[in-house]
Amino acid sequence: MARISYIKHLLISFFLLFFISFPLQSQDSGNNTIQVLNLSGAIGPATSEYIRIGIEAAQTEALAVIIEMDTPGGLDLAMRDIIQTILDSDIPVITYVSPQGARAASAGTYILYASHVAAMAPATNLGAATPVQIAAPDLTDTGTEDDGDETAMERKMVNDARAYIRGLAELRGRNADWAEAAVVEAASLSASEALAENVIDIVASDSNELVSLLNGRVVNVNGQNLVLTTENVNLQYVEPDWRISFLKVITDPNLILILGMIGIYGLIIEFYNPGFGLPGVLGAICLLLAGYGLQLLPLNYAGIGLIIVGVILIIAEALIPSFGILGIGGIAAFSLGALFMVDTDIAVYQVSLPLVAAIGVGFALLIGATLRLFLNIKKKASVSGIGTIVGADGISLTDLNTTGMVEVHGEVWNAETDSNIKKGDKIKVVGTKGAHLQVSKE
């Protein structure tokens, strides 16, 4: 009997340890707030910062976070930052593709897979998660591994993305095969199809229905099973602060390019008018803002190098006119560099062609004005020096047989003559010889 009692206690201890290791917890009933973040438009540094700050702030203030998403995709680095924040969260993160007609394309699909709960509104879709890099060619790819139109670099990117999304699918217990198809074949699904294929967990027409369907759902958060209790919860909508709004503006490549040009023009003007101060200060501030925006974006360093070379050549043309040779080369280098500046295929983070053309025309006009000014200076007659008094009248200060002194324009000059000129005679300057005037009797 003692032996049976011992075994009985051993089994009880085993089951207690088992349930301690895999607890099923209920959330704190005292916290009845769910914070709602809005992720709309292209995903970039500002979006990543907004989601990160929102989720981190909600850890002690809310029982869950809902990300209402409508995105065509975005930058890979920003997407991975958002996913890392979701994976590190101590409270459930529910991603909800909403409103009706919204989409979770490309990077949005990865975020949906990473979330603790994936939900969609009717008439929404997700998928098309193939990474495509068309902003600039890969200069290191020799083409020896080409297979049709696909380069070796493109295959590396696809394989990396496929492994990444499959890992997320396996972590959340979702359809990993379809996740791979979304990357490799750019597959897409509607909300109802995604629910049937075990890609998402819920289809809800609005946020209120979503909250109702979340009630009682078991969610695994960092190895712990939590039971969502969403009865009588309050939805708290969190808007981006001024810093996030500023970040969104400053990471626009077109604005970065404009700020850079204002900065360069400001420094050039300050160089030509030293001591004025305002152009130099404004130029320095604009260049610093442009640099801050640039370091937040995925850069193509060949493009940045071309921009720097182009600016140097344009400034050199302004300072040392080469009749357009340096200027034309600078404009070409700058324009190509601007087009390749940001290394992404997302249209929102690419430089506008009309803007590049407008800046190129502006530089051409600057170079043209510089050349015209230079030619006018070359053609303009001298207004000072010995060359300006040829043809002028004067008076002899001494007797001139060969050499002597004369006064012209109130100045005393050494003079030479081949005629006999008496002191006080009027003379006319007929030429110069070194620092001497050649004169004749008037």
Catalytic residues: 106, 156
92 neighbors 117 (Cβ within 8 angstroms): yes
Q: 324: which 2 tokens? A: 């357009």
What gap in Å lies between CA 382 and CA 372, rounded to an integer? 18
> CA separation (Å) from 43 to 55, 113, 242, 248, 341?
16, 16, 18, 10, 18
DSSP state of 90: S
3 state DSSP class of 400: strand
> How would you classify the pairing of strands 24-26 and 33-40?
unpaired
Q: What is the dihedral of CA 165, 166, 169, 175, to 10 degrees?
A: 120
CA nearest neighbour of 334 among 356, 349, 354? 356
CA nearest neighbour of 324 among 365, 360, 368? 368
Place of tokens 């699909």: 109
Residue 47: CA count within 13 A, CB half-sphere: 28
CA nearest neighbour of 234 among 85, 98, 24, 30? 30
Cβ within 8 Å of residue 267, ≥6 positions away = 279, 280, 283, 284, 287
80 neighbors 167 (Cβ within 8 angstroms): no
